[in-house]
Every structure is written in C-alpha cells, then in structure tokens.
Structure 1
Amino acid sequence: MSVATFFCDTDTAARIERMETGVIARGVGAGLQRAESGGGGFTREIAGGAACFAGPNSPLNKVVGVGFGGVPSDAQWEAVERAYAEVGAAVQVELAHLADPRIGAELTARGYRLTSFENVLGMRLAGRVWPSPQSVEVRRDDETGFDTWLDIVVEGFAHPDEDGLPAHEDFPRDILAAAVRDLNATGDTHRYLAYRAGEPAGGATLRMIDGIAALGGAATRPQHRRKGVQTALLATRLNEAAAADCDLAVITTQPGSKSQRNAQAQGFALLYTRAVLVKDPA
C-alpha cells in the first residue's frame, strides 16, 4: 500500500491510542516499583484512556487515549482533576483529533488551554524493505549496555534539534532519565544503539504490541547529527518489525521537525494530530 492511500480511520486511531495508553500506564507502574520513587503515582481509567502520574515533573504525567471509549462525564473529569491537584500537578490531556469531538469543547469549557500539538505518523509494513546507510552500524542490545544507551538518549533529548517547531516540554536530566528507564523496564521494549566512526552516536527503541511496531526513544548525540544516524535506526527497526509480522508502524513527532522529515522520507504518512491541552491546578 502506498503512502498516498493510507487512510487512518477512527478504528485505526483507537488501536494506536490503546497501545500508547498501555505503554504509559506500564511505565508508571514500573516507576512505582522502584524504591526511590517514593510512591504517590497513579493511573486512572477514563473513557478508554488513562490519567497517569509518575511523580513530580515527569513526562509520563498526562491523560492519554481518551475519547475512544465514550465521552467522560463531568464527574469523571472532576475526579481526574482532583487527583492531579492533590499532587500539585497540572492536568495535561493529549487528545487525538479523531477522538469524539465533544471532548475538546468540554475541556475548553472547563478551562483547559491549548498549548501545542504532536503528530502521529504511520506506515503499512507488508512487502517492504528499507536500506540503511553503510556509514552507520545499528546493534540491538536488550540485555547489556543499558547505561550507555540511556546516556546517549538522554543527552540527545537534552539538546533538541532546532529544526521545526520547538518542543513543548523541557525536563531536567534526572527526571527524563527516570522516565526513560521506567518505560524500558516493562518487558516489551527492544533497545538499539547506532555507531558511527566506532562511537556510540544515537539510540532508539522498538515496541511490538498487537501487531503495531511503535518506534520511540530516538535521539542522536549533537556531534553526530545530519550523518544518517536516525535514518539507520529507522531502517533497522522497520525491517525487524516487518520480519516479526507487524502490520503497522507508528511514530510520534513534533510538527515540522527533523524527526518528522526523516520519518516521511522513509515512507511514513501523517495519520492524525494530538492537541495538548493543559489545566493548571487550582
């Protein structure tokens, strides 16, 4: 199937959002099991999605996947808002534009403000092969080398690429590292390191869940950018996902970013956009 004919209906969006919700919820659960987490986290089901809180300032603190299992009642929103207020956190809702349209209007009426967007891109995998730059070697390493991988990914995230719109969030290195570690402790994540000129240059992850290959965690060290590192990481993961009989690959990017450009160059198409709406604690 060509990129031009990939139509994303609400069922496909719901399938992706369910997968994403499960990943975030499991990441929160992994963090709560760590002794240093101190407790206080939560996940709460709401309208097919989940309200998640992993700890102060965590990137996992958000309401995800909502709107594909009905429209939340006022009482449900009030309960979620109280839960976040009790831990002194804003409520951040990532709302797919293919979710029930009544939800956006309700959130606006409740005082949420639109702060940014993120794009979800996807691609059918059957019958395709992706070439990789020969100047970059990509290794899958699920058992060892976690600290090296984590350092590279956190370094890349801490120095975002300046192409496209700026990221709507910025996290301290230690909090970002904790969130990345928790997301990779759920048992469904494969890690990849890219080497260029013999040096670790970039890292990424692949999750294969219910036929969906979710590509995430991609970051390149600043000195190795524009050298084919992300292209190599994308190609390796797509080829492995296709070989594992995944039918759909998805990736989330900032609108207009270098990551989005790289993904579309590999055959991804824009499926839908998430609006990020935020309500500060009372």
Structure 2
Amino acid sequence: MNTQHTPLFCDLELAERIERAEAQLIEATARAAHRRLADGRGFVLPVAGGLAVFAGDDSPFNKVVGLGFGGVPTDDELDEIEKAHAGVGTPVQVELTHLADPEIGPVLTRRGYQLESFENVLGIAIEDEYDVTMPDGVVIRPSGDDELDRWLNLMADAVAAPDTQGVPWREEFPRDTYIESERDGVAAGVARYAVLRNGELAGGGGLRTADGIAQFAGAATLPAHRRHGIQSALLATRLADAAAAGCDVGVITTQPGSKSQQNAQRSGFTLLYTRAVLVKHV
C-alpha cells in the first residue's frame, strides 16, 4: 500500500460532510436499537443541523452529534433535549468539533456542560485503487451472517484488552452492551471484516460507505495477534473497498495519541479535527 499521500486539508465544507455522515450513522444505529428493544424509550431529535440521540441504556450511541454547521441551538431546543434525556435517566453528551460555530461552546458552558474528553477525526483522500499486501499468514475476508455471533464475541474480547498507548477512552461499556451495539451497527449497514492469522480468527473491523464518505467503524485485534501488521492490513483492505465503492474521503475516529491513531497516520491518514466531548448531568 502506498503511504505517500498529499495530506488532506479539512475546510468547513468537508467537516460538515463528515459530521453529517457521522450523524446519519448514529441515527441509523439508534433506530436499529429502537427496533430491537421495542420499549418506546428511544428518541432521535433534530437540533441546529445535528441530532440528539438516545438508543438505549448505556449505549455508546447516546449523544448529540453533527452540531456546528446549522446555526446555534436555541434555549428551547436545548430545554427539549435535556428534558428528554432526564426522562430516560441519562446525561446529555455533546460531541462538538473545533471547526463548529464558535458561539456554541459558550452557550453550552453557560448551561452547565463540562468538558470531559476529546477524540480525533483523521481522514484520507481515497485513491482510485490500492495494491493490498497481506502480512505472512494473514487473510482478511468479509464476515458472513453465519458467523455473526462469533464475530461479535471476538470483537468484545479484543476491545476488553485495549492498548494502553495514548489517552484512554473516557467510557467503558459492559460486554453485553458492546455486543448489542455492534449488532445494531450491523443492522444499520456496517459491513464486517474477519481477520485470520495462521488460520485462527484474530480480529475484525467494520466499514460504512455513504455519500462518498467511507467510515472506518471500529477495528480490534486479539492480544495474542497484535504487532503483526493486522491493523494496517485491515485499513488497506477497507480503503481498497471504499475506492471500489466510489468514495473520495475516508475517516476514522481515535483517541488522541493512541496506537489506532499511529496506525492510521502510518497508512496516510491526516488529523483533520478534534471533537470536544461536553457533558451535562440532568
């Protein structure tokens, strides 16, 4: 895989494209959770060009996404969102890119939102085609429906033993919650990949393509198979598939300074922007 890329520059138009794609993915995944749970508690509320989403108790998809490019949320909109979150007993978590309208941060701060963490969004201009070279003994293939439960359990096992490099994720989710959230992502159209090393299932990852944006939706390797080039090969494979799907931009979200960020940058991704995570307990 060629790693000599012209760094992708992120202007406001590109940031808005990426945030819109992220909001669409979160909405689709949340609606899959609503169908699975069928308890009438879930919601998706529009707010200033973005969405406030509650997928289910403890879900990683409970968040406000896509703010910053459709005006500043009004007090009435924020009142509605905070009331809805209070009704299901969960805090309001806003993920706000640093390229968003600068008036939004002070509005949230005045209402009691507190900065809790950051996450990085990296991107790459997708080439016309890729020559993917596999490390010795590694095979990457689509993961079929017949092995869905096995794939879900493998991913849960892999993320339960995270790399310690960089800033840790601010949230940890119960194993069952993680598995069901991944299941909802599959129902929302995330394609699954299985990685085998020396014939053993060693890792997996996901990819969603929409409107020219390829979202690298989660990737994990079991501890015994790490440091053998699996993550780089998985990135290259998904980039090739994104190119075949006609995408022009690929994006991945990582923790700052993490091994995932390092692997992405080695594969040609550039840091585009940072999201601040602001939380209000209601």
Q: How far, CA to CA, are the matches of 2:76 and 2:268 in structure 1? A: 43
Counterpart of 2:55 in structure 1 is 54
Cα deviation, residue 26, structure 1:
0.9
Q: Given the alignment, which residue of 119, 132, 135 partners 1:133? A: 135
AA at the equivalent of 1:7: F
Two-structure CA RMSD over aligned residues (Å) = 1.5
Cα deviation, residue 176, structure 1:
1.1
Counterpart of 1:149 in structure 2 is 151
Cα deviation, residue 37, structure 1:
4.7
Q: How far, CA to CA, are the matches of 1:69 and 1:132 in structure 2? A: 43
Q: Given the alignment, which residue of 161, 180, 185 partners 1:178? A: 180
Q: How far, CA to CA, are the matches of 1:142 and 1:211 in structure 2? A: 24
AA at the equivalent of 1:143: D
Residues 156 and 220, structure 1, Cα contact 8 Å, conserved in 2: yes
Cα deviation, residue 128, structure 1:
5.1
Residues 213 and 247, structure 2, Cα contact 8 Å, conserved in 1: yes
Cα deviation, residue 5, structure 1:
4.0
AA at the equivalent of 2:27: A
Q: How far, CA to CA, are the matches of 1:88 and 1:73 in structure 2? A: 22
Residues 132 and 231, structure 1, Cα contact 8 Å, conserved in 2: no
Counterpart of 1:103 in structure 2 is 104
Partner of 1:23, secondary structure, is helix
Write the deviation string for residues 97-139 of structure 1: whole angstroms up to 9, x where unpaired.
1111111111111111100000000000124524332331101
Counterpart of 1:91 in structure 2 is 92
> Which runs of 5 or more structure 2 residues have no equivalent in the other structure?
none
Q: How far, CA to CA, are the matches of 1:38 and 1:175 in structure 2? A: 16
Cα deviation, residue 45, structure 1:
0.6
Write the deviation string for residues 125-180 of structure 1: whole angstroms up to 9, x where unpaired.
12452433233110112433111111111112222211111111100011111111
Partner of 2:70, secondary structure, is coil
Cα deviation, residue 6, structure 1:
1.8
Q: How far, CA to CA, are the matches of 2:7 and 2:181 in structure 1? A: 36
Query: Taking structure 1 as reference, are residues 44 and 131 closer, same or farther at Cα in structure 2, changes over 3 Å only?
Result: same
AA at the equivalent of 2:11: D
Q: How far, CA to CA, are the matches of 1:37 and 1:255 in structure 2? A: 36
Counterpart of 1:275 in structure 2 is 276
Question: Normalising by structure 1, what TM-score?
Answer: 0.95
Matches within 5 A, 1:1-282: 3-34=5-36, 36-127=37-128, 129=130, 130-186=132-188, 188-281=189-282
Query: Taking structure 1 as reference, are residues 5 and 231 closer, same or farther at Cα in structure 2, changes over 3 Å only?
Result: closer
Runs of 4+ in structure 1 over 6 Å off: none
- The sequence identity of aligned pairs, in percent, is 53
Residues 21 and 210, structure 2, Cα contact 8 Å, conserved in 1: yes
Residues 137 and 194, structure 1, Cα contact 8 Å, conserved in 2: yes
Residues 137 and 232, structure 1, Cα contact 8 Å, conserved in 2: no
Residues 49 and 65, structure 1, Cα contact 8 Å, conserved in 2: yes
Residues 7 and 270, structure 2, Cα contact 8 Å, conserved in 1: no
AA at the equivalent of 1:78: D
> Which runs of 5 or more structure 1 residues have no equivalent in the other structure?
none
Q: How far, CA to CA, are the matches of 1:109 and 1:3 in structure 2? A: 42
Residues 132 and 235, structure 1, Cα contact 8 Å, conserved in 2: no
Count residues in correspondence. 279
Residues 129 and 244, structure 2, Cα contact 8 Å, conserved in 1: no
Cα deviation, residue 3, structure 1:
4.4
Partner of 2:165, secondary structure, is coil
